[in-house]
Chains A and B, each alone.
Chain A
């Protein structure tokens, strides 16, 4: 099982050549992974990007992480925002600059440049800036320096001189043994006139912020990394109250460990359908069915059972509020309060519209890390996805599921499909190909009585039952029974069933 994944990961691993370039860890989530250890040490790195692309925040996180995580003081010189405004802006992200300034670990200065006030006559140098940088670096014994941003300097000054002066500045920074990040707006004029990033810097990142389907996606691309291998892909990233998180490529993740340990579904009959076993630990399970078919009950039973077994469980509710889930499950005898009190079950609740999928996945990821969850429920995933699953969202989900697999976290996803959308189940199939186990719930009205049926569409590595069972919910919980013969012989049922089967493409 999953042989193809293992071999492909090994192939990329063997194909990767390790460079011995000294690097400076950024501490920014995901960035050190995609750069194989950070930005080049004691050399300048340029971050280019449009307005609001996240350049300043990325640079500031590099400085603050240096102080907090690596005990490397830093200098942050800004030509743009007022230093006070900057302090407030990054304080909102939980970076307390004032504390670091007071402890003499951070030197923050705004260099005011007004080209109208001051006139240039003839040749000049940037020695004033260099002297001030020198003072700042010596004051806090800085190892990290940020200049934010270059454009203010370029505007109005004679380009030829600025260019050669920057070359000198970069050389001086190298001599000073500091790792520098320089930010620059992305403008045609900048790119074409200077080619500064190409000639002078050893490492260049490009940040973009594109809006697609009313959802803005930030992306980072490594344009250049002299002396180090790097991926040329674009990596999505988000900025939230905890700073920047970049999603590394799937192919660069370490080998996935495959477990043969079994975790019970929490419902005896479902375990029976799965070869009397249940799910593999670290596998992904999809429960799919129309609205009101009982998917949440299946998910809650699984969550209750796993948290009872002291596997920390994170229940991500996108439809019902946690209190609602708890109350509703009480009516079928699942006392979720009990496991919440013992800290084995945690809830993540957010209205799907509040954030886009990426932000949800990041928030969930952070929560998983915080509580050390080994079981995750996403109920329902369809709510946080758009109607049409596009490649962006698909790859995001694949990455997320891969991440859970790597961490040996078992994930149960519920997805809503309505009877009318049975023919349009691309999105559902899109998810089902990502998961290991797929359980379908269907509804039929026979003789004016509503019936629910459950069957296991697939379960990788488990000899699952291929039969449909009747699925009923009562105050005692879920009841799964073999189909009654009289139902089978009823008009319409068989034809309906076969139609549905075609639609789902049951595996042979």
Chain B
């Protein structure tokens, strides 16, 4: 199934869109708490398995850039913002549910089509 998915994305990226679709993410965490570490681990592994390295992930520690909490209106952490492709979308948590993350990234729905 994962292979199918990969193939589908590849086809999608190469076929329909001439330009390669690159996902841009920002992941906000705080310090090195368990939840933060889990979130980074989980999300990275989902991206690696499903996005074929066509992604850019920036990890931001709110403790180092506290002003970002205000500019991005952050209340819950860890928080992931998908900057590209548009529309921008947000999700928060430790991303322990792979299926839900894929749904959020609009990957399974594309596959089903």
Q: Using a CB–CB distance below 8 Å, which chain A residues touch chain B?
A: 111-113, 117-129, 131-132, 134-135, 153, 157
Stretch at the interface among B3-11, B16-24, B90-98: B90-98
What are 24 A-to-B residue pairs whose CB atoms are below 8 Å? Answer: A111-B75, A112-B73, A113-B75, A119-B104, A121-B96, A121-B97, A122-B38, A122-B94, A123-B35, A124-B35, A124-B92, A124-B94, A125-B76, A126-B75, A126-B77, A128-B62, A128-B75, A128-B77, A128-B79, A131-B30, A131-B66, A131-B74, A132-B69, A132-B70
Give the contacts of B69-89 with A (CB-CB under 8 A). Answer: 69-70, 73-79
Digit string of B43-63 for contact with A (CB within 8 Å is 1, else 0)? 000000000000000000011
In the complex, chain A residues whose CB is within 8 Å of the CB of B33: 125, 127
Given contacts A123-B96, A125-B30, A128-B79, contact A118 B91 (CB under 8 A): yes
Rounded to whole Å, the gap between the CB of B107 and the closest CB of chain A is: 14
Q: Given known contacts A118-B91, A132-B74, what 9 new A-B pairs fall within 8 Å (CB)? A: A118-B90, A119-B104, A121-B101, A121-B104, A122-B38, A124-B76, A124-B92, A131-B62, A132-B66
Closest A-chain residue to B70, C-beta based?
A: A132
| A124 to B90 Cα, complex, angstroms | 14
Residues of A within 8 A of B63 (CB): 131
Q: Which residues of A contact B101 (CB under 8 A)?
A: 121
Closest Cβ of chain B: how far from A124's Cβ, in Å? 5
Q: Interface size for chain B: under 10, 10 to 19, 20 to 34, or 35 or more residues?
A: 20 to 34
Best-buried of A123, A134, A157 by chain B (most CB within 10 Å)? A123
Contact A124 B69 (CB under 8 A): no
What's the nearest-Cβ distance from chain A to residue B74, in Å? 3
Q: Contacts of A125 on B, CB cut-off 8 Å?
A: 30, 33, 35, 76-78
Q: How far is the CA of A111 from the CA of B69 in the complex (A)?
A: 11
- B residues in contact with A135, CB < 8 Å: 66-67, 69-70
| Chain B residues engaging chain A, CB cutoff 8 angstroms | 28, 30, 33, 35, 38-39, 42, 62-63, 66-67, 69-70, 73-79, 90-97, 100-101, 104
Most-contacted residue by chain B among A124, A126, A127, A129 (CB, 10 A)? A127
A128 touches B74 (CB 8 A): yes
* Neighbour of B97 across the interface among A113, A122, A134, CB < 8 A: A122
The 8 closest A-B CB pairs, nearest first, are: A128-B74, A122-B93, A122-B96, A122-B94, A121-B93, A127-B30, A127-B77, A119-B91
CB distance from A104 to the nearest CB of B (A): 16
State whether B69 touches A128 (Cβ < 8 A).
yes
Collect the chain A residues with CB atoms within 8 Å of residue B93's CB.
120-124
CB of A121 within 8 A of CB of B62, answer: no
A75 to chain B, nearest CB (A): 13
* Chain B residues whose CB sits within 8 angstroms of the CB of A124 once the complex forms: 35, 76-78, 92-94
Q: Quote the shortest CB–CB distance from A137 to chain B (angstroms).
A: 12
Nearest CB of A to B21, in Å: 21
Query: What CA separation (Å) do A129 and B66 show in the bound complex?
Result: 11
- Measured in the bound complex, the distance between the Cα atoms of B34 and A359 in whole Å is 55
CB-based nearest B residue for A138: B66
- Cβ B92 vs Cβ A118 within 8 A: yes
Contacts of A126 in B (CB 8 A): 75-77
Question: Which chain B residues border A113 with CB–CB below 8 Å?
Answer: 75
Q: Chain B: which residue is nearest A128 at the CB level?
A: B74
**Chain B neighbourhood of A153, CB < 8 A:** 75
Q: Given the complex of chains A and B, what is the CA–CA distance between A118 and B95 in angstroms?
A: 13
**For residue B39, which residues in chain A have a CB less than 8 angstroms away from its CB?**
122
Tell me how far the C-beta of B25 lies from the nearest C-beta in chain A, rounded to whole angstroms. 14
A47 CB to nearest B CB, Å? 21
Residue of A nearest to B91 (CB): A119
How far, in whole Å, are A427 and B18 apart by their CA atoms in the complex? 89
Query: Closest B-chain residue to A120, C-beta based?
Result: B93
Chain A residues near B62 (CB-CB < 8 A): 127-128, 131
Q: Which chain A residue lies CB-closest to B92?
A: A124
In the bound complex, CA of A131 to CA of B30 (Å): 9
A128 to B76, CA, bound (A): 5
Give Cα distance in the complex from A120 to B76, angstroms. Answer: 9
By a CB distance below 8 angstroms, the chain A residues around B79 are 128
Q: How far is the CB of B108 from chain A (nearest CB, A)?
A: 14
Residues of A contacting B67 with CB < 8 Å? 135
Question: Which residues in A have their C-beta under 8 angstroms from that of B73?
Answer: 111-112
Q: Which residues of B contact A157 (CB under 8 A)?
A: 76
Q: Which residues of A contact B92 (CB under 8 A)?
A: 118-121, 124
Contact between chains at B90 and A129 (CB < 8 Å): no
**Cα of A480 to Cα of B43 in the assembled complex, Å:** 97
- Provide the bound-state CA to CA distance between A111 and B78, in Å: 17
Write the nearest CB–CB distance from B64 to chain A, whole angstroms: 11
Distance in angstroms between the alpha carbons of A460 and B62 in the assembled complex? 73
Partner of B91, one of A120, A128, A131, A132: A120
Residue contact B35 to A131, C-beta cutoff 8 Å:
no
- Is B94 in contact with A123, judged by CB distance below 8 angstroms? yes
Contacts of B100 in A (CB 8 A): 119, 121
Residues of B within 8 A of A122 (CB): 38-39, 42, 93-97
